């Protein structure tokens, strides 16, 4: 009888030991699965961080202003603007325009004569940020081509000639939605403004400063500019209800000096 109990006990002990071993294996397998899960999660996080870093670097690389010698035309102010008027002028007006924008054309027509007098008298420096918001409104990306042409003229002939060219482009502004002026016409008006034909033809044709034009556009968007024309004085955007209202407000700012 004692022998029989001993065998039963041994059998029960063996079963208990087997159960304990199985429980230990299950716990080890659970821990191993958790460890692998943590490793996979960590790797996924690292990969995500790398992807975000690469994406950020690529976005930053899009704005290459100042990196290459020919990226920024000589004569710009603040890297992104074409100046008209002396840097010593007491009033600085930033104007964000698009050569295809009809309202910009109306503002130019309403303010150009008096504004040019104020520039000539040293009362104001206008800083033109020429954008390509309306590339989609022409079949030839006219906004970009015209802005690039202005950069080429500024780079080769200086701010005074660039201002005359700027004014000529608005005087001969094409209708929104059209193909816009041809490269040959842009060269023609550049020469009429005072630029040398040989100095501007190639740059207008191959869009030498296209990256700079894109950077001007990106910079304006980051600054909160959502449409043209937009006028900024002393860091504040001028609120307006009509072209006449905007022209009047700008003139008041200039006269107040």
In a domain, 69, yes or no: no
184-199: average pLDDT:
98
**Least confident span in 48-57, 82-91, 147-156:** 48-57
Domain range enclosing 28: 1-62
- Residue 239 resides in a domain: yes
160 and 241 together in one domain:
yes
User: Are 163 and 87 members of one domain?
Assistant: yes
Residues 87 and 176 in one domain: yes
**Same domain membership, residue 94 and residue 58:** no
Q: Match 């130019």 to its residue by tokens.
A: 108
Answer whether residue 163 is part of any domain: yes
Q: Closest Cα partner for 203 from 37, 24, 73, 109?
A: 73
Which pLDDT score, from 0 to 100, does residue 66 have?
45
pLDDT value of position 59: 39
Per-residue pLDDT, 88: 97
Which is higher by pLDDT, 188 or 7? 188
The predicted pLDDT at position 19 comes to 66
Q: By the 8 A CB rule, do 163 and 84 touch?
A: yes
Partners of 233 in the β-ladder: 93, 236
Check residue 24 and give its pLDDT: 72
Shared-domain flag, residues 49 and 123: no
CATH number at residue 143: 3.40.30.10
pTM: 0.74
Domain count of the fold of the chain? 2
User: Do 56 and 86 have their domain in common?
Assistant: no
Confidence of residue 71 (pLDDT cuts 50, 70, 90): confident
103 and 49 part of one domain: no
Query: Under a CB-based contact definition with an 8 Å cutoff, are residues 150 and 130 in contact?
Result: yes
In a domain, 199, yes or no: yes
Average pLDDT of the chain to the nearest whole number: 85
Q: Are 256 and 187 in contact, with CB atoms under 8 Å apart?
A: no
Same domain as 86, residue 58 = no
For residues 40-49, average pLDDT: 40
Asked if the structure places residue 33 within a domain, the reply is yes
Is 76 among the domain residues?
no
Query: Do 94 and 219 share a domain, yes or no?
Result: yes
For residue 73, give both structure tokens: 């035309």
Q: State the pLDDT confidence band at 30, using cuts at 50, 70 and 90.
A: confident
For residue 32, the SS3 value is helix
161 and 221 share one domain: yes
Q: Indicate if the pLDDT at residue 180 is higher than 80.
A: yes
Region 12-30 average pLDDT: 68
Residue 67 lies in a domain: no
The pLDDT > 70 percentage for the chain reads 77
Q: Are residues 143 and 191 in the same domain?
A: yes
Residues 107-148: tens digit of each pLDDT: 999 999 999 999 999 999 999 999 999 999 999 999 999 999
Residues in the chain, overall count: 257
Amino acid 21: pLDDT: 64
209 belongs to a structural domain? yes
Stronger pLDDT, 55 or 124, i.e. the higher one: 124
pLDDT digits (tens, 9 = 90+) for 57-67: 333 334 544 44
Based on the domain organization, do 46 and 139 belong to the same domain?
no
């Amino acid at each position: 009888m004692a022998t029989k109990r001993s065998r039963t006990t041994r059998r029960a002990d063996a079963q208990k030991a087997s159960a304990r071993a199985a429980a230990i294996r299950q716990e080890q397998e659970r821990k191993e699965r958790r460890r692998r899960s943590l490793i996979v999660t960590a790797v996924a996080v690292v990969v995500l961080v790398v992807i975000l870093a690469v994406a950020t670097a690529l976005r930053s690389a899009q704005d290459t202003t100042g990196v290459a010698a020919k990226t920024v035309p000589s004569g710009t102010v603040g890297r992104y603007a074409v100046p008209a008027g002396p840097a010593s002028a007491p009033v600085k007006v930033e104007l964000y325009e698009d050569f295809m924008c009809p309202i910009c054309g109306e503002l130019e027509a309403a303010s150009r004569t008096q504004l040019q007098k104020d520039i000539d008298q040293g009362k104001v420096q206008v800083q033109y940020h020429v954008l390509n918001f309306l590339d989609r409104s022409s079949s030839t990306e006219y906004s970009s081509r015209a802005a690039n042409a202005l950069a080429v003229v500024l780079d080769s002939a200086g701010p005074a000639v660039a201002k005359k060219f700027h004014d000529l482009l608005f005087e001969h502004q094409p209708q929104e939605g059209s193909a816009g002026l041809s490269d040959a016409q842009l060269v023609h008006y550049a020469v009429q403004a005072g630029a040398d034909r040989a100095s501007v033809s190639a740059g207008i044709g191959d869009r030498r400063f296209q990256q700079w034009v894109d950077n001007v556009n990106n910079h304006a968007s980051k600054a909160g500019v959502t449409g043209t024309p937009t006028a900024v004085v002393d860091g504040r955007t001028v609120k307006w209800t009509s072209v006449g209202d905007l022209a009047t407000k700008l003139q008041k700012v200039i006269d107040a000096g």
